[in-house]
Amino acid sequence: MTGTMVKGLTNAQIAWRAAQDIADGAYVNLGIGFPEMVARYQPPGRQAIFHTENGVLDFGEAPPAGQEDWDLINAGKKAITLKPGAAIFHHADSFAMVRGGHLDVAILGAYQVAETGDLANWRVGSKGVPAVGGAMDLVHGAKRVAVITDHVTRDGQPKLVDRCTFPLTGVACVTRVYTSHAVVDIAEGRFVLREKLPGQSLEDLQAMTGARLHLDGPLTDLTVPELAE
């Protein structure tokens, strides 16, 4: 990497930024792990309804330790609670909500995202035990499929690329990427830069990115509050 690294956003800050784009009353699926953090940062006055693949709509926070009911879990097998107005259903109905275009937003993690909208987020090679879960279903059907991710890997390799080299989860499915350094839309097979960190030059951001960043419409500062992790 030739680019000068500006200190990027923390995971909490990336999640916060993604949460600002979720409308009140939206039906949302958050991928297991890092994307689950998005639920913490809903703007005041807005309340999304969260879906989990194993058959619950409108679940809430984890119960206090010791009060878990292990028949009430999310897709990550963590204990959850039900909010007033929650619904429980079987797996075929749950994935009808996913593929049938009923969810407003799915927010997922990524190993790589390509400028074509291709996503790789389920395995990095052919070794070990493969496990896909609901990843390949979630990338199809939601009205918006967004990714939250660091802009580069730990060893500085771009995660936004021209073509994914890891096994694909889905083809041409991602519409927006929130990274540690930028907000990037994917439109007509190209990355369109919408927001970048103040203080970072376009040249440096481009150098951290594995495909051309296009400008189309306004480019604004990516500003996020300080947040505890």
Partner 1 sequence: MDKTIATPAAAVEGIADGASVMIGGFGGSGAPIELIHALIDRFRATGSPGGLTVINNNAGNGRIGIAAMIDAGMVAKMICSFPRSSDPRAFTERYLAGGIALELVPQGTLAERIRAAGAGIPAFYTPTSFGTELAEGKPVAEFDGRMYVQERWLKADVALVKAETADRHGNLTYRLAARNFNPLMCMAAARTVVQASRVVAAGGIDPELVVTPGIFVDAVVEVREPQQEEALIRAGVGYA
Known catalytic residue at 229 = no
Residue number, 121 or 200, with CB nearest to partner 1: 121
Please, which residue, 9 or 161, has the CB nearer to partner 1?
161
Q: Which CB sits closer to partner 1, 20 or 81? A: 81
SS3 of 63-99:
CCCCCCCCCCECCCCCECEEEEEEEECCHHHHHHHHH
- Least Å from the CB of residue 66 to partner 1: 11
Active-site entry in 53, 68, 188, 203 = 53
CA distance 183 to 146: 10
Residue number, 46 or 99, with CB nearest to partner 1: 99
Which whole-number Å values give the CA distances from 29 to 107, 134, 142, 156, in the listed order? 6, 11, 9, 29
CA distances from 192 to 1, 176, 213 (A): 21, 9, 6
* Footprint of partner 1 (CB under 8 A): 53-56, 69-73, 77, 88-92, 94-95, 98-99, 118, 128-137, 140-141, 167-171
- Provide the 10 A C-beta neighbour count for residue 58: 18
Q: How far is the CB of 143 from partner 1 (least distance, A)?
A: 14
Q: Angle at Cα 127 formed by Cα 121 and Cα 132, nearest 5°?
A: 35
Token readout for 153 is: 């890997």
CB of 93 to partner 1, least distance (A): 9
Q: Catalytic site residues?
A: 53
